[in-house]
Structure 1
Amino acid sequence: MANTENTERYLALKKYNPWLWLKLKIKKQLGWIGTPKLIPYRGYANENTIYLTGYLTEDKGLEKPTAKQTTWENAVSMLKRYTSDNLPKVDLKASVGSQQIETRTAENGLFKCELPNSGSFSESQNQWKKYLVKFPEEMIATTKNQSTEGEFLVPGTNHEFAVISDIDDTIIVSHSTQWFRKLWLMLFRNSRTRKPFPGVDTFYQALQQGKSGQNENPFFYVSSSEWNLYDLLDDFCTHNQLPKGVLLLRELEASIFQLRKSGGGNHEHKYEKIKHLFEVYPTMNFILIGDNGQRDPEIYERIATEFPNRVKSIYIRTVRKRKHAERDLEIRLKLEQMGVPFVASATSIEAAKHAAKYGIISPGSVQKIEIDAQKDQENPLTKKVFEKE
């Protein structure tokens, strides 16, 4: 069986769509159909259950980006993320140790499954444990490996809280509310040439370490960016030394026509994912971090209302000061009545000062955050990025 025949066969199982049929026809003629590639995302677990997610798609042929890549190379990489087809209705097997479960990819190529957690949940430090996802027999001959390894988070006992953070316009400049500028960034920048907001990396490291500076608070990144961008966002976080965490992104059919919609929508999925985390970890308190460009303040207020005494603080980056000022003030007053601090500021420094004052991070970490933020602002590359963005 030729390497691409499995891909073609599973693509034929998709719901009929004239555009998809034509795209498949053109890709076949040009020899652009890739071999199947399995991408296991980071999962997470509590005392009872392990939650796993992954993606089966064509191999996009993407390599690790560099700061020297041209704008054309960056654009081609982004277009590959949105033109590669996902593979639906494929039966896979996920396993953790001796436990195994069968799962099937959905129409968008994603699979989700849950396994009983029989492992220890009493380690003081966060544990990243391994799991395997196995290809069906008919695919093994056309792929390099029989299975692909992923990892899942088991939070340790040495934590004071967990952090749930947005990504776009919270840790990275995205211009989510300005589709042309957002599209320009997506097409012509990569994970090495896009920079975090000044000081955000040091602030997040301080949050992970907590008040004592010795904790290991778990991180979850919940974003309206699509799963297609997982590799870019994961590499961005790693390269910029943001705390390793679980990424929970938006489900969207891969299509060049969806590129403009990236990061948009009604964001209800963010509420559902955050609510799920509160339910999965019922004894854990949370810090919520986002921006006021879209719906983060409203979602976080809703969560704080539904889970009283579980939200320690909410930090909002103000990227649109005037448009949402009245809404943000109203939300802040409601949250104050519930005893939940709502801190809106344009920089990480103001958030860090509040966190230090109220025992969320070490007081000594504020100076380091201020110094690093200043260095970020003075960095010629960072200046260039922010001027253009």
Structure 2
Amino acid sequence: MGYGNRNQIYLKGGVLENRPEFNSEAADKRGKNFRIMLSRYLSSPIPDMKVKIVLGEERFTTQTDEYGYFSAWIEPKYKFEPGWHKVIFSIDENGEEIYKVTGEFLIVGSEAQFGTISDIDDTILVSHATQLFKKLRLIMTKNAKTRLPFEGVAEFYQKLRASENPFFYVSSSEWNLYDFLQDFFQVQDIPKGPFLLQEYKSGLRDLLFTGGGSHQHKRDKIKRLMTLFPNLKFILIGDSGQKDTEIYRQALHEFPNRILAVYIRKIGKKDDFDEKTMHEFEDKGVPLLMLENTAEAENHAQDKGFIIS
């Protein structure tokens, strides 16, 4: 799922081989879930592959990098209306089309009141990201139809989405998990939005340490969104387990007057910010809340007029 404004559209994808189709069911056994998750990290990226893009009546060409990924900034002649639109990606071999897939992109319009940027692991999806063995047990034995969101998340996010307010999911999960996340969000009725994930990883070790790293890539992706939509203010939602508060603090200073509120779900025993951090946000007039549950965020958002009950 790409995204853009009426002048620029950002599209991203990957070309892989040895990647089976994944069709998970709630009744699937642990063994099947294990094999499917493992296969997500054992597919091989294909570098230097030419990819054709069809956007409305226009055609563009791009190429995969050494990791099998392509990303393209498109400036179409046709000005797409706000909302979701289809895009077609295809691959040719010896002049013949050998593969084609349909994607989507979101155009954000001026009618949006604000946007929401949300983390995923331990913010939406119960993941135990800071507890290795609990995390691996969930990843390897559950699937998109049996993993659980935090209580009340879907309802709260649907209220934030009212009036066509866009959602963007900036996460340290890898692109390997794209299909899993897409399926999970659909099953749980969480608002559709582009996923901005970590780069694709390959190998058993990368599976064991999925979601790891410095998380600073989140800062770059938030900056991209803030820059692409200069007239849009944002609500930022994260958790205390993966430096979200520090990343959002950087956005607070880099993009003054663009953040309406920050909601941080408390994970574990350690608070993610101290009194000094609280004062930084207060000085900028931005509420920063450490939350025990989703209901606290929903109540605050309703008091501030971000949502209507």
- Greater shift in the superposed pair: 200-209 or 90-99: 90-99
Shift of 1:328: 4.1
Contact 1:94 1:134 in 2 (8 A): yes
State the distance in 2 between where 1:59 and 1:155 align.
Answer: 35
What does 1:249-268 correspond to in 2, within 5 Å? 249-268=197-216
8 A contact 1:43–1:151 mirrored in 2 = yes
Counterpart of 2:149 in structure 1 is 196
Counterparts in 2 of 1:70 and 1:140: CA distance versus 1, 3 Å: farther
Residue segments in structure 2 that go unaligned for 5+ positions in a row: none
CA distance in 1, matches of 2:159, 2:78: 29
2:10 is aligned to 51
2:259: which partner in 1?
311
Q: Who is 1:208 aligned against?
A: 161
Amino acid at match of 1:232: F
Which residue of the other structure, out of 45, 56, 63, is the alignment partner of 1:104?
A: 63
Cα distance in structure 2, aligned partners of 1:90 and 1:99: 20
**Runs of at least 5 residues in structure 1 that lack an aligned partner in the other structure:** 1-41, 210-214, 366-389
TM-aligned CA deviation for residue 119 of structure 1: 3.3
Distance 1:61-1:324 versus aligned 2 partners, 3 A rule:
same
Give the structure 2 partner of residue 299 of structure 1.
247
Counterpart CA distance in 1 for 2:85 and 2:104 is: 5
Return 299-308 or 173-182, whichever deviates more: 173-182
1:120 shift after superposition: 3.3
Aligned partner of 2:165 in structure 1 is 217
SS of the residue 1:350 aligns to: helix
Taking the TM superposition and a 5 Å limit, the aligned residue runs for 1:1-389 are 42-120=1-79, 123=81, 126-138=82-94, 140=96, 143=98, 145=99, 147-209=100-162, 215-321=163-269, 323-324=270-271, 327-362=273-308, 365=309
Q: CA RMSD in A?
A: 1.5
Aligned residues: 309
Q: Distance in 2 between matches of 1:328 and 1:71?
A: 41
Q: From the two aligned structures, give the one with the greater strand fraction.
A: 2
Change (3 A) 1:347 1:96: same
Q: What residue identity is the alignment partner of 1:65?
A: S
| Separation (CA, whole Å) in 2 of partners of 1:330 and 1:69 | 48
**Which deviates the most, 131-140 or 173-182?**
131-140
Task: Confirm or deny: 8 A CA contact 2:118 2:237 kept in the other structure.
Answer: yes
Q: Which amino acid aligns with 2:265?
A: R
Cα pair 1:46 1:117 within 8 Å, conserved:
no
What amino acid is aligned across from residue 24 of structure 2 in structure 1?
A: P
Partner AA of 2:115 in structure 1: A
Identity rate, percent? 43
Q: When the two structures are superposed, what TM-score results if normalisation uses the length of structure 2? A: 0.96
Q: So what's the TM-score if we normalise by structure 1?
A: 0.77
- Going from structure 1 to structure 2, the CA distance change for 1:242 and 1:95 (only over 3 Å counts) comes to same
